[in-house]
Structure 1
Amino acid sequence: MKPEEKDLGREGRSLKPETERAFANRVLLIRPQSFYSNPETLGSNSFQGEQSSGVDLSLIHYEFDSLHERLEQLGIGVELFESLKEAETPDAVFPNNWFSTHSSGHLILYPMFAPSRRRERREDIIQALQRRHGPYQILDLSAYESRAWFLEGTGSLVLDRRSRTGFCSLSARSSEELVKIFEQETGYSIFCFESLTAEARPVYHTNVMMSVGDTHALVCLDSISQPSQRKRLLEKLEEIGKSPLLIGLDQMESFCGNVLLLENGDAEKVWMASETAYRAFSKSQIQKLESEADLQFVSIPWIERLGGGSLRCMMAEIFPCSESPSPF
């Protein structure tokens, strides 16, 4: 079985460009019309809490709208959609898992672990992105769900687009077989490893234990039990010119790794974090992050507690097609 690739306007566009834009100045958000702790993902996400009673959707909307408003205040573009209530997609607020865009002119669709999350893939959103920022050529990897191979977008893959290097913590939601296919299709070099929570459970997504910025990379080395993998990860960061900013297991649990570096319309860089993460950073860590970019935080405790994801998961980076895209 091979991934489906649909030509939508630029013939012969390869998935292996020499360069890609490093940081997005526009993101896609999905405002949830239903939200609760997803029973299909609870077993594989130790960051996610069980739900004993219904949650007031107005609390979730307040948190979501706070992020939306902050991004617009910062001059970061927002593509805003609403989830489909009838589709029963409680994790739709985390759109970065089912697709990614690339300035080479490609949009990649990913195979999702939970059946409810597969319903998040929406043709209307894809077509809207095509009209506004395309035409994208689509690489559809979702068929690999039939083999129980999964790779959940920029949750599974933490990418340094400048060097075309990535990192993947293998888990039930991140299959090594799919990583190899991603490498073959895109030309990225992905370093795979295993990471564990304090309770010795696999970290469900790479982007909760590390984030790659311009000059720094946050990483929870304490979650990687194998010394050889820790050593190799640090070597990879040195190879791509990133200074490691180490976070502990307790900080990982507070979503200190689930942050994202963006740019505003004036190409000024901004770190986006949740208030939970910000409060867990040490003063010296904050100083290092602020030496690289403005550091902004938004309070989203209910989304974090019930969804098991934080601010980075809520933002899907949008990279418009280049005027003359390089082969990907």
Structure 2
Amino acid sequence: MLQTASFILMVRPAGFGYNAETADNNTFQHNETSISATNISKKAVEEFDAFVKLLREKNIDVTVVEDSATPVKPDAVFPNNWFCTLPDGKLIVFPMFAANRREEKRDDILQQITHDFSVSDVEDWSEYEADNFFLEGTGSMIFDHANKTVYACISPRTHKALFERFAKTHHYKPIIFSAKDENDVPIYHTNVMMHIGESYAVVCLDAIKNETEKIYIAQTLREAGHEIIPISFEQMNAFAGNMIQVRNKFGEPFTILSKTGFDSLTLEQKYILSVHTNLLPVNISTIETIGGGSARCMIAEIFLERKMF
């Protein structure tokens, strides 16, 4: 089973901006009041378009969907939180913490995926929103598909029992842990402090304060064949943990991360990563600063077989 996808989907933002509804538990967000909302939105589109251009220059197969203008959805550029696909052909919709982010769920995007790719089943877990149980896709969960293991740090956006139920339903081994930043604030999404590639793992082990959990996670990753590349709190805050590995049309591996995250890495970390993959930094400083999510959050992997027409 492949760990990396060869097809990805991204949503070109129409109303990107600071989302006050998510700011309470996302310490990575920053409200930049010195720039107008119009200019922030414009800059986000420019960053997005340059990002997609770079991906296509590297022969990475990306489907771009236009965000709908209404209702305004400040975080639509982060589609990985509301849906994901699995290598067994399933397309899954998730319960979202913020009410205004639930507007991002669009039937036309799901229909486009099922039209273009072979989907074995569509599951919608949104009913749990009524119970305030949330599980925000590959923001909440880090999948090791090859080893049928899935990791999650518990937060207001990642409900422990719901995560366990999801893992059991899809026959993944759940690994649950607590993760907090340097100020002892719970980390809102697992994917800002952890990334798993085919043969390596990037993780902020310092964020896992419980020594037993820390040792267990490191041991599990190593036993699965991943070389661990630890990152510091400072590097995590620069989005160095928010990476994603994909393969292009020729099967070449690329690990995508923001330029901010890339610049925070040491020469040794870059060298170790380069042994495993091709690093592809992208400049998305406006999106990651205002939105509190970075390169990985902008990409929804399509682990499905493309239909031949």
Q: Fold match, TM over 0.5? A: yes
1:252 aligns with 2:233: no
Distance 1:263 1:152, change over 3 A: same
Tell me, in whole angstroms, the C-alpha distance in 1 between the residues paired with 2:306 and 2:223.
27
Distance of 2:121 and 2:88 partners within structure 1: 9
Structure 1 unpaired stretches of 5+: 1-19, 324-328
Deviation at 1:319, TM superposition (A): 1.4
Distance in 2, Cα, partners of 1:105 & 1:247: 33
Q: Are 1:216 and 2:186 matched, yes or no?
A: no
* Structure 1 Cα separation of the partners of residues 153 and 102 of structure 2: 21
Q: Which residue of 1 aligns with 2:297?
A: 313
Counterpart amino acid of residue 56 in structure 2: E
Q: What letter is aligned with 2:136?
A: E
Residue 54 of structure 1 and its aligned partner are, at CA, apart by: 2.5
Partner of residue 44, structure 1 = 25
Distance 1:231 1:135, change over 3 A: closer
Counterparts of 1:45-194 in structure 2, within 5 Å, are 45-52=26-33, 53-55=35-37, 56=39, 57-194=41-178
1:103 touches 1:321 (CA, 8 Å); kept in 2? no
Q: Secondary structure of the residue that 1:86 maps to in structure 2? A: coil
- Deviates further, 68-77 or 45-54: 45-54
Q: Are the aligned partners of 2:150 and 2:174 in contact in 1 as well (CA < 8 Å)?
A: yes
Aligned residue number for residue 33 of structure 1: 14
Helix, strand or coil: the match of 1:199?
A: coil
Cα deviation for residue 184 of structure 1 reads 1.9
Q: CA deviation at 1:226?
A: 0.8
Q: How does 1:241-320 map to 2 (within 5 A)?
A: 241-320=225-304
Amino acid at match of 2:36: G
Aligned residues: 304
Query: 1:12 aligns to what?
Result: none
- Residues 105 and 322 in structure 1, CA contact (< 8 A), matched pair in contact too: no
What RMSD, in angstroms, separates the aligned Cα atoms of the two structures?
1.2
Distance (Å, rounded) in 2 between the aligned partners of 1:72 and 1:143 = 37
Residues 1:204 and 2:188 aligned together:
yes
Judge conservation of contact 2:150–2:167 (CA < 8 Å) in 1: no
- Alignment partners' CA distance in 1, 2:145 and 2:306: 15
Q: Which amino acid aligns with 1:32?
A: P
The percent identity for this pair of structures is 36
Deviation at 1:62, TM superposition (A): 1.1
Deviation at 1:304, TM superposition (A): 0.7
Report deviation, 1:322: 8.3
**TM-score, normalization: structure 2?**
0.96
Provide the residue aligned with 1:231 in structure 2.
Answer: 215
- Per-residue deviation, 1:103: 2.5
Counterpart of 1:162 in structure 2: which amino acid? A
8 Å CA contact 1:220–1:257 kept in 2: the answer is: yes
TM-score, normalization by structure 1: 0.90
Alpha-carbon contact 1:95-1:316 (below 8 Å) kept: yes
The residue aligned with 1:10 is none
Aligned to 1:24: 5
SS in 2 for 1:270: strand
CA contact (8 A) 1:36 1:51 kept: no
- Measure the CA separation in 1 of the matches of 2:138 and 2:168: 17
Query: 2:70 and 2:124 mapped to 1: Cα distance?
Result: 25
Could you tell me which amino acid in structure 2 is paired with residue 320 of structure 1?
L
Query: Do 2:260 and 2:283's aligned partners in 1 also have CA atoms closer than 8 Å?
Result: yes
* Unmatched runs of 5 consecutive residues or more in structure 2: none
| C-alpha separation in 2, matches of 1:202 and 1:257 | 16
Conserved 8 A contact 1:50-1:306: yes
Query: Match for 1:308: what amino acid?
Result: G
Question: Contact 2:3–2:197 at 8 Å: present in 1 too?
Answer: no
